[in-house]
């Protein structure tokens, strides 16, 4: 019983072919919880106080096992859930008990292990790789991955439709650009936008007035303005970030990461690789949209120009660390912007 998709899970639920073991995990925590709720809704039966048991991440495996093997009370089956079970933190004895439990789940119990907050990377953990390998022979694993841009846009449109609002794909794309790819944040922004709109068609003006621009996303818009030579937009975005009380050092850190992305993409392209090559060594899991932004922004920048930009960012970093206050930090950022704009469109800085 290998890894399944959300579509396959819905199919199992519709056909009442629910298995005895599920592991729900992944980067997109909203989808992890939604898939859990889908199962729980279907399994919700008589006497839930007896036939439904929840365990936290630090529950002993023996306690979980006792609940799993216990017979349901006046029902065909019972449900046991365990949140954020951390295989990486378990010792050998507990792991042995866990694997023995997975081998002996009765047909009258559905055991759901889910990770509502815990992040895992099986590529970097032998324990998690072993766990997933064993689980795939005993039950179903369902990873909830970050959605791609076109999927995010469809999601935003569906959420608006649920609130009796009409949202165009073009505006959905803008919302995703402003907010980022986190579904919790997108859902909150669409809910707020629909309440503001009061039904009907959502306008561009409402999006601009209502949607909160994610700081990281705003800085990526800023980097785009800098490489395109859009002076007014670059300084307007700086005004926005400062008005939101973002720390100058934080702004600089995110801006530096955007230029590092551009440098990596340019180096990959010049080496005959694709813009996605940096995922082989950089931490872009669930965040490869950053490389797409970088590919868009790096077209007119040479590797030498990017090196010069990175040096300017480093000098600004030192300046802020040695500055005497917030006003000086802002002056340092404004000076940096002028230098980056100069590099992008004239090729060098004295």
CATH number of the CATH domain containing 176: 1.10.8.60
Of 158, 23, 18, the C-alpha closest to 83 is: 23
pLDDT at 1: 57
pLDDT at 245: 84
pLDDT at 348: 42
Report, as an integer, the average pLDDT of 295-305: 89
Determine the Cα–Cα distance for residues 139 and 116; give it in Å rounded to an integer: 19
Among 210, 239, 261, where does a domain finish? 210
Domain region containing 225: 215-346
74/38 same-domain check = yes
Q: Could you read off the pLDDT of 71-124 as tens digits, one per residue?
A: 888 778 899 999 999 999 999 999 999 999 999 999 999 999 999 999 998 888
Report, as an integer, the average pLDDT of 280-304: 82
The structure tokens listed for 182 are: 């986190």
Determine the Cα–Cα distance for residues 176 and 213; give it in Å rounded to an integer: 10
Residue 350 clears pLDDT 60, i.e. is over it: no
Run of H or E including 302:
none
Residue 262 clears pLDDT 80, i.e. is over it: yes
119/194 same-domain check = no
35/83 same-domain check = yes
The structure tokens listed for 63 are: 């306690």
219/266 same-domain check = yes
* C-alpha torsion 41→42→43→45, nearest 10: 80
Of 107, 126, 137, the C-alpha closest to 23 is: 137
Q: Kindly write down the DSSP assignment for every residue of 49-113, as one continuous string.
A: HHHEEEE-TT--HHHHHHHHHSPPSSSS-EEEEEES--GGG--HHHHHHHHHHHH---TTEEEEE
What interhelical angle do 169-179 and 149-162 show, nearest 10? 110
- 123 DSSP 8-state letter: G
Report, as an integer, the average pLDDT of 118-134: 90
pLDDT at 256: 94
Q: What percentage of the chain exceeds 70 in pLDDT?
A: 95
Residue 151 clears pLDDT 70, i.e. is over it: yes
Report, as an integer, the average pLDDT of 335-344: 92
Residue 49 clears pLDDT 80, i.e. is over it: no
Determine the Cα–Cα distance for residues 119 and 132; give it in Å rounded to an integer: 15
- Please list the residues that pair with 81 across neighbouring strands: 54, 112
pLDDT averaged over every residue in the chain: 89
Q: What percentage of the chain exceeds 90 in pLDDT?
A: 57
175/251 same-domain check = no
Residue 299 clears pLDDT 90, i.e. is over it: no
Determine the Cα–Cα distance for residues 36 and 100; give it in Å rounded to an integer: 24
Report, as an integer, the average pLDDT of 199-213: 90
Indicate the pTM of the whole model.
Answer: 0.68
158 band by pLDDT with thresholds 50, 70 and 90: very high
Among 93, 115, 143, where does a domain finish? 143
- What strands lie across the sheet with 21-25, from one edge to the other? 52-55, 78-83, 109-114, 21-25, 140-143
| Secondary structure of residue 292 in the 3-state scheme | helix
Determine the Cα–Cα distance for residues 77 and 60; give it in Å rounded to an integer: 23
Total domain count, the chain: 3
Backbone angles phi, psi at 192, to 5 degrees: -65, -40
Determine the Cα–Cα distance for residues 154 and 169; give it in Å rounded to an integer: 7
**Cα-Cα-Cα-Cα dihedral sign, residues 265, 271, 276, 280:** negative
77/109 same-domain check = yes
Q: Is residue 172 part of a domain?
A: yes
Among 104, 127, 143, where does a domain finish? 143
Between 290 and 64, the higher pLDDT residue: 64
327 band by pLDDT with thresholds 50, 70 and 90: confident
205 band by pLDDT with thresholds 50, 70 and 90: very high
CATH number of the CATH domain containing 46: 3.40.50.300
Between 226 and 283, the higher pLDDT residue: 226
pLDDT at 322: 84
Residue 191 clears pLDDT 70, i.e. is over it: yes
Residue 300 clears pLDDT 90, i.e. is over it: no
13/133 same-domain check = yes
Q: Is residue 1 part of a domain?
A: no
Residue 47 clears pLDDT 70, i.e. is over it: no
Backbone angles phi, psi at 152, to 5 degrees: -65, -40
What interhelical angle do 215-228 and 231-243 show, nearest 10? 160
Report, as an integer, the average pLDDT of 310-320: 93
Residue 199 CB neighbour total at 10 angstroms: 11
Residue 146 clears pLDDT 60, i.e. is over it: yes
131/160 same-domain check = no
CATH number of the CATH domain containing 289: 1.20.272.10
Determine the Cα–Cα distance for residues 60 and 98; give it in Å rounded to an integer: 10
10/133 same-domain check = yes
Between 293 and 306, the higher pLDDT residue: 306
Burial class, 51, CB count within 10 angstroms (exposed 0-12 / middle 13-18 / buried 19+): buried
- For the ranges 29-33, 54-58, 245-249, the lowest mean pLDDT is seen at 245-249
The structure tokens listed for 37 are: 């709720």
């Amino acid at each position: 019983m290998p890894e399944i998709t959300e579509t396959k899970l819905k199919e199992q639920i519709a056909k009442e072919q629910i298995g005895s073991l599920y592991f729900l995990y992944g980067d997109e925590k909203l989808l992890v919880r939604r898939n859990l709720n889908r199962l729980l809704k279907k399994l919700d039966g008589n006497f839930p106080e007896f036939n439904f048991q929840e365990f936290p991440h630090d529950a002993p495996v023996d306690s979980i096992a006792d609940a799993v093997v216990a017979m349901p009370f006046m029902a065909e089956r019972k449900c046991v859930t365990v949140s954020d079970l951390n295989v990486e933190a378990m010792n050998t004895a507990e792991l042995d008990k866990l694997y023995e439990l997975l081998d002996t789940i009765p047909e009258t119990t559905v055991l759901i292990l889910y990770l509502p907050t815990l992040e895992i990377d099986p590529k970097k953990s032998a324990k998690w790789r072993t766990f997933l390998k064993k689980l795939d022979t005993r039950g179903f694993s369902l990873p909830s991955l970050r959605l791609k841009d076109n999927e995010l846009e469809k999601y935003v449109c569906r959420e608006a439709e649920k609130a009796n609002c009409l949202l165009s794909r073009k505006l959905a794309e803008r919302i995703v650009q402003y907010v980022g790819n986190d579904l919790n944040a997108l859902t909150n922004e669409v809910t707020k936008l629909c309440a503001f709109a009061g039904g009907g068609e959502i306008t561009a003006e409402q999006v601009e007035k209502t949607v909160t621009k994610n700081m990281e996303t705003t800085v990526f818009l800023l980097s785009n303005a800098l490489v395109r030579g859009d002076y007014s937009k670059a300084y307007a975005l700086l005004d926005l970030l400062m008005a939101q009380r973002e720390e100058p050092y934080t702004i600089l850190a995110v801006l530096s990461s955007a230029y590092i992305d551009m440098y990596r993409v340019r180096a990959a392209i010049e080496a005959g690789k694709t813009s996605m090559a940096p995922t082989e060594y950089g931490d872009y899991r669930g965040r490869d949209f950053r490389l797409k932004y970088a590919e868009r922004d790096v077209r007119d920048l040479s590797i030498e120009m990017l090196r010069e930009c990175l040096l300017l960012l480093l000098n600004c970093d030192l300046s802020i660390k040695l500055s005497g206050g917030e006003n000086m930090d802002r002056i340092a950022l404004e000076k940096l912007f002028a230098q980056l704009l100069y590099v992008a469109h004239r090729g060098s800085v004295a």
